[in-house]
Amino acid sequence: MRSARPKVLHTLAGWPMIAHVLVAAGEAGANRTFVVLGHDAATVRQVLPPGTLSVVQDPQRGTGHAVAVALAALPGDETDAALILYADMPLITPQTLRTLLHAHTHGGHLLSLLSAVVPDPQGYGRVLRDARGGVIGVKEQKELAPGEQALMEINCGVYCADMAWLRGAIAVLPEHADGEYYLPDLVPMAVAAGGIGVVQARVPDEVQGVNTRVQLAAADRLMRARINEAHMLAGVTIVDPATTYVEPGVRIGQDATIYPNTHLRGATTIGVACAIGPDAEVIDSVVADGAHVTRSVIEGARISQGCRVGPFAHLRHGTVLEDGVQIGNYAEVKNSTIGAGSASHHVSYIGDATVGARVNVGAGAVTANYDGVRKNRTVIGDDVFVGCDSILRAPVTLGDGSHTGAGAVVLHDVAPGTTVVGVPARERPARR
């Protein structure tokens, strides 16, 4: 990868590669996961889910040695099968792993391997079969005889093994000239013992490994296409899948429409019949049914039913928009709750505030929430009119039905039903 970052932490559809593999294993039925770490183990360990066991392979003496290191750290009383995966195969699916596990368990095999028939097998080990189609071994590319070069079925390096047999077989793996121990050497052992099975991956792309950034980009395209297709089949309209980026944890309701160049990231939920985009980024946020977000950035926010956000708005962490709120162009909201039916249509900043229902925030209005030491809150009651270019210096409260004049600088609380104007703002008699 030519990177200071460990390979398995390079991201694919927003997740580290290793996260995709761990999720696939868990969804396939693995009741315990054990990660064998190598380069920069401490950094990789930080992203592992709670409860994931890990051990460092040092020195690193091949794939067989890696499994031996893992087995040495396990208690030795397991009776289940062991599923062996590589963390740089992020496209592997739970369905394929379940198929492998099922075939292994019901076939009574000591060892089962995953294979794939690919158009270009160069660089991969090949599966060798006898005249009846039975697996008799695997060979690495460099070991192939001239008549074996044309074989198209590759060994994917994914195995399922009987735990008791695996412990014994790993202990007697032969050491190669380079001082390493290789997992493919398990295959002839299992053949000799009369218990090997093979499952071919239905979609060869999912067994693609990632060793370069070129391969990472190719895998990312495949993953995004897979995610988008699943949403479309579930009733979501994605206008241009090629320019739509949806991370795996995102949920989207039926009849939502996702327009081009939209990024939906993290723990985001989009409701039924929403319209998101074009040019929108929604991160770790909830967008309720029927809301629209156009050309805006939404981070850690909750948008309620029927809201309209954008274009060119920015909702930051802690923002809550209640039903029917409208946030327009060049408006920013941070750590604030805005009541139902309120609006801030243009060029404003609302930070650390509680805004009531049916409030109008005029163009250029600002809650001055930071005094240089701490953040202070602004409270705006129901039915308040905040005039253009008003500055509300927090902490301050505007009572229900109050008004601020254009350009007012509000330094003190405003009583309900009153109007304040000027710099600093002073009460003006109520209109008759």
Identify whether 346 is a catalytic site residue: yes
Q: Give the DSSP letter string of 364-384.
A: T-EEE-B-SS-B--EEE-TT-
Q: By the 8 A CB rule, do 270 and 287 touch?
A: yes
Comparing CA positions, the residue from 285, 355, 368 lying closest to residue 326 is 355
CA atoms within 13 A on the CB side of 295: 7
Indicate the pairing of strand 353-355 with strand 337-338.
parallel
Residue with tokens 């509000």: 410
Q: Give the DSSP letter string of 138-166.
A: EE-GGG--GGGTT--EEEEEEEEEEHHHH
Q: By the 8 A CB rule, do 52 and 136 touch?
A: no
Neighbours of 282 (CB within 10 A): 30
Mark out the alpha helices in 40-130 (DSSP H runs): 41-45, 63-73, 94-107
Q: By the 8 A CB rule, do 65 and 143 touch?
A: no
Cis peptide before 260 (omega within 30 of 0): no
Q: Which of 65, 106, 346, 412 is catalytic?
A: 346
- Those residues with Cβ within 8 angstroms of residue 378's Cβ, 6 or more apart along the chain or in another chain: 350, 352, 353, 354, 367, 369, 392, 394, 395, 396, 397, 398
Comparing CA positions, the residue from 33, 46, 36 lying closest to residue 5 is 46
Query: Is 333 strand, coil or helix?
Result: strand
Q: Looking at the annotation, which residues are catalytic?
A: 346
